[in-house]
Structure 1
Amino acid sequence: MTLALPSPCVVVLVGPGASGKSTWAAEHFPAETIVSSDRLRAVVGAGEDDIAASTDAFALLEQIVAVRLARRLTTVIDTLGLDTDRRRAWLALARRHGLPCVAVAFDTPAAECRARNRGRAKRIPADALTAQLRSWRAVRDLLAAEGYDEVLAPQPVRQVAAPFATSPAAAARQQERPTGLRFGLHLSAFAFDGGKAATAARLREIAVAAEEAGFDAIYVMDHFRQIPQVGRAWDDFLESYTTLAYLAACTSRVRLGALVTGITYRNVAHLGKIIATLDVLSGGRAVCGLGLAWFKAEHTAYGWEFPPARSRYALLEDALTLLPLLWGPGSPAFEGKALRVPEATCYPRPLQDHVPIVVGGGGERRTLRLAARHADAANVLGDLDTVRRKASVLHAHCAAAGRDPIDLTHLCTALVGDDDRSVAGLVDRLRPRRQDAASYAAAVHAGTVDDHIGRFRELAEAGVAEVMVRLPDLTSPEPLVRMAKVIAAFRP
């Protein structure tokens, strides 16, 4: 089984000469990540075997390691690794920069090391190799107590974005004991080949492919210009509910909603009418996402008031109460903290007896409490540990409100490749020129199909009922074909 190492990380190779360190490193890591004392002897001396250049070579090695770790780049330190003070200094430096650090122990039999050495064009002097083998026996017993994240034997390894480090075991659990999970496609960008003239056709292709891939829902962002986390303010960006109406005509099965509707952007009663209309025209597939709204610059650009958080919370709480009244029987009057509606009237009413409401935001004191009291689901961001904590807080709020636990959903980005080479190619093509591959891969959760199966299994185990997935390479239906393989692992 191939071991997944988090990227970035520090890998310290430890073992006597001719034990296989450089060969192993070259098989499993890109050349630019390996810092080799032998190669640096050739840089500052007459060649890799220029022992007189060792002091200068190690001084240069230390500088390179320090710079790479400060930049949080994967670094494989290819030396003998027998100097305990040096090893511990590298480990301390890794800890200072928040990088995982593993040692790889090359416990190659002495006879094999000697045989390999005899086959070299330039041999290690016999007495020097004997001294290294003697030192190795003492070092071998020290490694486990030095504080590495792991001490490994040389074995097949691959680097993955940190959230996938435990994915192989989770993917195995999903294969052995499958669990269900709903998937929503999150559309956050509309930059298609052919420009705006091709937008309608490309969007239809993607919507149809999403249904074929097994997605349960399609969501759009409720913004009026692109947000800085995704693109530029002047990028083409479609209005949310007009787009959802178009998607209703393009699809037949997926649920449709805004993730999430900014509570400040529309009259709330009017919003209720919009969602009811979407539900009728889609055949009962509307989802109502609601959130505080956060993008102040967008409000300013459009001339909208951006109230303080306290006022927006009052408006959100009123909306959570008003909308079900609006979609229900009669025309009751409503007066809340921020809203007054003399007649909560909506005809036609939604086809669904109950339009599901999703509250977006992970605020543990107010947002999740409002979701627990009034909504059907809460949508949160964050890593696995954060999601686990949010699930616990949400369930506590539900218990306090006298309700059964509501669904927890999770919004994330996923760049999916068929294999490691495919993933590397996608990362290289999509990453910004000034962002290194490892940090971009981590930011977009770049991984193989199996990596994502494991990651989503862990989210399901943390309490997530639905994942809303943004695919950063979604300019054609092709990424949906790869994502379909992930979804299939969570279907009966």
Structure 2
Amino acid sequence: MDERKLPSPCVVVLVGPGAAGKSTWAGERFAGELVVSSDRLRALVGAGEDDLAASADAFDLLEAVVRQRIGRRLTTVIDTLGLDRERRLRWLALAREHGMPCVAVAFDTPAAECRRRNRERVKRIPADALAAQLTTWNRVKKELPGEGFDEVLQAATEVRVVPEAFVQADAAVRREDAAPRGLRFGLQVSSYTHKGGRKTTGEWIRQVGARAEAAGFDAIYVMDHFRQIPQVGRAWEDFLESWTTLAYLAACTERVRLGTLVTGITYRNVAHLGKIVATLDVLSGGRAVCGVGLGWFEAEHKAYGWEFPSTAERYALLEDALQVLPVLWGAGNKGFSGKVLEVPDTTCYPRPLQDNVPLLVGGSGPRTLRLAARYADAANVFGDVTRVREKAEYLKAQPRQIELTHLSTTLIGRDQREVDALVNQLRPRNQDPARYAATANAGTITDQVGRFRALAEAGAAEVMFSLPNLDDDLSPLDTAGEVISAFR
């Protein structure tokens, strides 16, 4: 059966005569809170769903609810006859006003079938009323295609509302099946608040590393902070120091590369950072990745008593660091003098095992990308496919070619039912499920294969992602492995 993915949020207008199957269709595909039903509202303001005397009040309430939901940009499924052209166009205009796609779903159920279903109802639609609806429907189904809806779908079409990133996923999956594209995968560990607590954190990290490696991840990355960032959790939650954690993971794994996303350039003496990275590379058998960035978390600096330089000063330090780190990892001990950094002696032995320890710069701003293109091996960016393509095209136009990598939060379910359950379990209490789903890129295994294929086509050589449901239950790594296997 054909499936149409609709972008979240959207407006879905059901159109068809009574007993055509509209309420059943909506109930099977959408959570109850998304459906605005004239019958249920009639029961709310009257004596029951069949209380026709309450119809005017029910429709007044329906219009108010639809207006409020669309005004808040919430997915809204309007379950009523939909045979009134003026109402349909009003809902369409409201969706347009708030920048939401609006589709109509046509229920062209044969008249005989509608009459049969109606006869089987406990509360039947009066025969003359149903006959009038069927006559009106014959006219309406010819009008619908010209009314300006984004699409007029048939009821036989399977419909699923998904974050924008997944709307074209099916086509991308088909392209991956037809011509597999090489893509590397990195796991970002961004939280350490597993249910087992700190006494079992070492074992938890060990298991994460082993399970990620078995799932097919090419690399494991950790955030370089000293307390949890507000985007992920609370300042007092357990949070491990990055390079110490990577050294531990080096002993717990055999194959995956190990790095930071990304080390704030203000957090450590740069020459000392070079020594730390070289040590990790030697102890891991040549698997270190050095991710660096401008540093942004001013509150963290203040908490630890560190200076938080101006943006210009931090850019100057980052540029110096990108130049001196390869010198530290090379032979000899020649000094370095940069814009703000002086390293009189660059002795660093043992040297890394890799001839070239990958230097990755995190950030999407023009100045950051220019520095990455000039000195680094990769630039790591956020954002959707359009943003990735834009950044990749910029990098391709530079004299020195480097890779583009992409970082995101990714929530994976085996099917839509599991995705919905995970979203409701993990979303903040006051956050709309659809907004959380979009933020977490919540989708099925197939959805994620399509999204990552699209990112690869846009220019990403590696995708790194954090799993917000990674806790004592490590099965999300296995589910991620099913996504990865599609690219092998």
2-side partners of 1:193 and 1:143: how far apart?
53
2-side partners of 1:287 and 1:122: how far apart?
69
SS at match of 1:237: coil
Aligned counterpart, 1:44: 45
SS at match of 1:366: helix
Aligned counterpart, 1:123: 124
2-side partners of 1:313 and 1:145: how far apart?
55
2-side partners of 1:223 and 1:107: how far apart?
58
Matched AA of 2:117: R
Aligned counterpart, 1:295: 297
Pairing 1:11–2:7 present: no
SS at match of 2:417: helix
SS at match of 1:233: coil
Aligned counterpart, 1:479: 476
Shift of 1:372: 1.0
CA deviation map 1:228-277 (0-9, x unaligned): 00000000100111111111111111101111110111111111111111
Structure 1 stretches of at least 4 aligned residues deviating more than 6 Å after TM superposition = none
2-side partners of 1:192 and 1:115: how far apart?
56
1-side partners of 2:142 and 2:387: how far apart?
37
Q: Please, which moves more after superposition, 417-426 or 271-280?
A: 417-426
Q: 1:270 pairs with 256, 263, 272, which one?
A: 272
Aligned counterpart, 2:440: 444
SS at match of 2:290: strand
2-side partners of 1:127 and 1:198: how far apart?
71
Aligned counterpart, 1:313: 315
Map residues 139-150 of structure 1 onto 2, 5 A cutoff. 139-150=140-151
Q: 1:418 pairs with 409, 414, 419, which one?
A: 414
1-side partners of 2:89 and 2:318: how far apart?
53
Matched AA of 2:276: I
Map residues 389-408 of structure 1 onto 2, 5 A cutoff. 389-396=390-397, 398=398, 402-403=399-400, 405-408=401-404
Shift of 1:94: 2.2
Shift of 1:136: 2.4
TM-score, normalised relative to structure 1: 0.95
Aligned counterpart, 2:154: 153
Shift of 1:430: 1.7
Matched AA of 1:394: L
Shift of 1:187: 0.6
1-side partners of 2:336 and 2:143: how far apart?
72
Shift of 1:478: 1.5
Q: Please, which moves more after superposition, 281-290 or 150-159?
A: 150-159
Pairing 1:456–2:457 present: no
Aligned counterpart, 2:170: 168
Aligned counterpart, 1:89: 90
Map residues 70-469 of structure 1 onto 2, 5 A cutoff. 70-154=71-155, 155-363=157-365, 365-396=366-397, 398=398, 402-403=399-400, 405-469=401-465
1-side partners of 2:306 and 2:479: how far apart?
41
2-side partners of 1:384 and 1:482: how far apart?
23
2-side partners of 1:146 and 1:299: how far apart?
57
SS at match of 2:43: helix
1-side partners of 2:76 and 2:205: how far apart?
42
- The structure-2 alpha-carbon separation of the partners of 1:452 and 1:370, relative to structure 1 and needing over 3 Å to count, comes to same
Shift of 1:162: 2.7
CA deviation map 1:170-198 (0-9, x unaligned): 12222222112100010100012231111
Q: Please, which moves more after superposition, 338-347 or 109-118?
A: 109-118
Shift of 1:2: 2.8
Aligned counterpart, 2:486: 489
Shift of 1:420: 1.8
- Structure 2 residue runs of 5 or longer lacking an equivalent are none
SS at match of 1:474: coil
Shift of 1:482: 0.8
Matched AA of 2:219: A
Q: What is the number of residues matched between the two proteins?
A: 485
SS at match of 1:103: strand
Aligned counterpart, 1:24: 25
Matched AA of 1:444: A
1-side partners of 2:421 and 2:408: how far apart?
21
Matched AA of 1:54: S
SS at match of 1:289: strand
TM-score, normalised relative to structure 2: 0.95
Give me the CA root mean square deviation. 1.6
Shift of 1:106: 1.4
SS at match of 1:73: coil
1-side partners of 2:33 and 2:272: how far apart?
58
1-side partners of 2:205 and 2:447: how far apart?
28
Shift of 1:216: 0.4
SS at match of 2:171: helix
Q: Please, which moves more after superposition, 77-86 or 202-211?
A: 77-86
Shift of 1:79: 1.1
- Structure 1 residue runs of 5 or longer lacking an equivalent are none
Q: Please, which moves more after superposition, 58-67 or 130-139?
A: 130-139
2-side partners of 1:390 and 1:241: how far apart?
29
1-side partners of 2:97 and 2:298: how far apart?
36
Q: Please, which moves more after superposition, 237-246 or 163-172?
A: 163-172
